[in-house]
Structure 1
Amino acid sequence: MLSYQHAYHAGNLADVQKHALLAFMLDYLTQKDKPLSYIETHAGRGLYDLADEAALKTGEAAAGVTLALPHFPPAHPYRQAVEAVRARFGATAYPGSPLVAAIGLREGDALHLAELHPQEHAALTATMAGWGAHVQKRDGLEMALAITPPTPRRGLMLIDPAYEVKSDYDQIPRVMGQIARKWNVGILALWYPILTSGAHKPMLAALQAAFPEGFRQELSFPPARDGHRMVGSGMFVVNPPWGLADEAARLKALFAKL
């Protein structure tokens, strides 16, 4: 299924969690003077306008990044990424994770992005022109298995599917296990929704059994509207970098203020 479009949800609290932790991890990796690879399996369009009809229809950004961003210190890599994108694209622009990554990467780092949705892929290709990204119109997990271990070998992969069908939950632990065996030094970061149905729980149980040293953070927030099934979001990280637990604790405290 290819019906999901993130423009309706861009900048929501789930994005704040995902992008803040992503920016922190990339900032940590780039402190060392060695090249790295960034791989993203479900990249979306890369750039969103929080003033467009889709974003205004749900109001999720107004309850998300608009409230949260001022609570981040000016030097935080997430805040710096958002502000850099707004300086370039306008005050209502919001970066998807491909742009969060691209802003944090350096010359010599590799950037691999997959997006299967035709319109989203076309928009992603336009957004990432000039950033040196390798953009593929391909199933993201298939791409991940094909290019790992990447060159450079150190790096990070973000897995962020739409979870449109139950098979997403069943497939991810198996594929992450395959990727980890091929790329044992890679940081594998999975975002997932916290749903009232509990659909995510068997997937998390399988991941924790496969990766007992993995890092997990779950944050709760009110549903975006009456009847909305998502009441939080989570990140599960294989090979978590040093300091991630402390950063996640700071992020949890920030969410408590909102």
Structure 2
Amino acid sequence: MDEVEVVVAHSERATLRVGDVFLKVDADQARIDVEAEVMALAPVPTPEVLWCRPPVLAIAAVPGTTLGRLGGPVTGSPAAWAAAGAAIRKLHDAPLPPRLGRAGRSVSELVAELDEECEALVTSGALPADLVARNRQVAEAALRPWIPAFTHGDLQIAHVFVHGDEVTGIIDWSEAGQGDALYDLATFTLGHEERLDDVLAGYGTDVDLDVIRGWWSVRSLLVVRWLMEHGFDAFAPGCEVDVLRSRM
């Protein structure tokens, strides 16, 4: 019998691995339902759903390896990163799923959430006021209307698997739905700005780089306190706080 590996665990959800099977346990049944639904709709390689009995979704492991992780070294050739960009573009060009996703919040909702979080970051002393103010300024570029696309919603590089120069699987779809395509691109390149040109070469269309940078600031500002409260280190080298510092 294989050992049980805890892949990630916090108060909202946990992912366990037993051999080639991943068990995703989620307190929110809606996220389980979304994940199973959108993986069936996505026109890119996704894990096979073995069974779904809320609060647990069982999926098969996908082949290949990730291109890296936030705060760690990255791997893969420029062609592999371009292949990831092409896969992301294929997803964004697909027919819209029926649900709004994490990247689909209205501009007014996002502004309200961001302003509240910026105030909390400063009041709590989690981050210096000038760092928060500068990144709130940079974030403004992302706070504009967008044309909805089929988005993953949490497209960290650790969620994209490749073998050679081919994308073999994209995992963790619980935040997927209609949203801003540039949010996905920003999430995928967060902390690895040097790979953005390779990703965009595969994506195959011009994008507004100020919006990408704006989403880097938005995402980082919104998650710092959550990460701290759930036992993750946003201050680790190359992680969210370093992303915010790079805008200074």
TM-score by length of 2: 0.33
Structure (1 or 2) with the larger CA radius of gyration: 2
